[in-house]
Amino acid sequence: MKIGIIKERKSPPDRRVVFSPQKLAELQKQFPHAEIKVEPSDIRVFKDEEYKVLGFELSNDLSDCDILLGVKEVPIEALIPGKKYFFFSHTIKKQAHNRKLLQAIINKHIDLYDHETIVDAGNKRLIGFGQYAGNVGAYNCFRAFGLKYDLFNLPKAETQPDKQTLISKLKKQFLPPVKIVLTGKGKVGMGAKEILDAIKIKEVSVENFLTKTYTEPVYVQLDVTDYNRRKDGKQATKEDFYVNPDKYESDFERFSTVADIFIAGHFYANGSPAIVTREMLASKNNKIKVVADISCDVAGPIASTLRASTIAEPFYGYHAGQNTEIDMYHPSAIVVMAVDNLPCELPKDASEGFGDMFLKYVIPAFFNDDTDGILKRALITHNGNLTQRFKYLEDYISENNEVPHN
């Protein structure tokens, strides 16, 4: 079996990679029969030489590889027919901008495994960059607060070498006794919590957060039943919420009237109620000054997320009364951070962590006849067709299907 590490070709450039040189060496040690080639890249966070000194072949020709590993979408013209590809295709939610990509993958008889579809038997995702989105999102949140109120000027996360440096920078800043509300207990939420805990911000209970005044910064981490309630007044449970989201409405206003900063790291499903409405933010009782929407669902559950922002320009202002974007320094502006590719700002840590997961959960499946069904569940296309699990994409790929065969 020949594995190829492809260079990232999407613009803007992404410096991440599936395997760091050290993790690739671990793979080689565990599975000595695997042959590995690395496509040279001048943007990757790890230099070509770092792979070369560990004995890996560098080559611009990966046509003899069976499996090709990347992070972001591969441009159609760069796809090699008949190969097995792993990357984030951003097609499984029928994203219109990538329809032609999936059409081309089918026409080129490529086996596509999307990192997002690598799940266990209980349909729980096994690999991803969520933790690092949470790390950077929390850092950016404090950076926005410091700029808005002229308290401190933190450097951009992308200019720093690793997560520990971000933590060190944050520890040096003085924070007033703000109240921070964090939603989500998945990888994103826990990634944000990791930063809050590392800089010694005190975690408090929901009841204390809502009722007590503090002389130091504090935060509360919420699960779905903390900020959603059943419309009929019956007892809310997580299980019921996930099955019957339409029977729920937001109960977030009790937090928006006491919190200064909102870090959004929740999972948002179709049919779920809005979480933070324009009315909440426009209310004279609203206290939220910064919204760090790590989940970044545009026109989704958080009214202030009018658009995704960028690593280059991560912040914008939101005027709740007018429901419009304004300058972040305007007196009425709530500062919004809604970068949708946050892990790109922490490429070294993100790549190392991703490689840990990929080596643990995915690579063994190629050598044990996919005993746990990891590959079978993740496979989207095979032999020029959608697999059974992804037949729901038929109507998506049939629209404007004019991609030529190669």
User: Averaged over 183-203, what is the pLDDT?
Assistant: 96
Q: Provide the annotated binding site.
A: 223
> pLDDT tens-digit profile of 331-340?
999 999 999 8
* In the predicted structure, residue 403 carries a pLDDT above the cut 70: no
The pLDDT, as a whole number, for residue 405 is: 39
Residue 20 · residue 355 · CB < 8 Å: yes
| pLDDT at residue 400, rounded to an integer | 60
Contact 224, 243 (CB under 8 A): no
State the Cα–Cα distance between residues 304 and 213, nearest whole angstrom.
26
The token pair at 64 is: 């003899």
- Per the rule left: phi > 0, alpha: psi between -120 and 50, beta: everything else, 296 is left
- Mean pLDDT, the chain, rounded, equals 95
Binding-site residues for NAD(+)? 223
pLDDT in tens, 28-47: 999 999 999 999 999 999 99
Encode pLDDT of 259-274 as tens digits.
999 999 997 777 889 9
Give the predicted TM-score (pTM) of the model.
Answer: 0.88
Q: Which of 72, 163, 187, 193 is the catalytic position?
A: 72
**Cβ-Cβ contacts under 8 Å for 140 (sequence gap 6 or more):** 157, 292, 314, 337, 339, 342
Helix axes 187-198, 130-148, angle to 10 degrees: 50
pLDDT digits 0-9 by tens, 98-143: 999 999 999 999 999 999 999 999 999 999 999 999 999 999 999 9
In our burial notation (b when 16+ CB lie closer than 10 A, e otherwise), range 57-92 reads eeeeebeebebbbbbbbbebeebbeebbbbbbbebb
The beta strand positions in 234-298, using DSSP E, are 248-250, 261-264, 290-293
Identified catalytic residue from 10, 90, 185, 289: 90
The DSSP 8-state label assigned to residue 196 in this structure reads H
Q: Is 72 a catalytic residue?
A: yes
Statement: residue 398 has pLDDT above 50: yes
- In order of their start, the domains of the chain are 2-126+347-398 (3.40.50.720), 130-340 (3.40.50.720)
pLDDT at 402 over 90: no
Give the strands of the sheet with 261-264, arranged side by side.
202-203, 218-222, 179-183, 261-264, 290-293, 334-337, 315-319, 324-326
**Is there a catalytic annotation at residue 94?**
no
Residue 404 reports pLDDT greater than 80:
no
CB-based contacts of 185: which residues, under 8 Å, 6+ apart?
221, 223
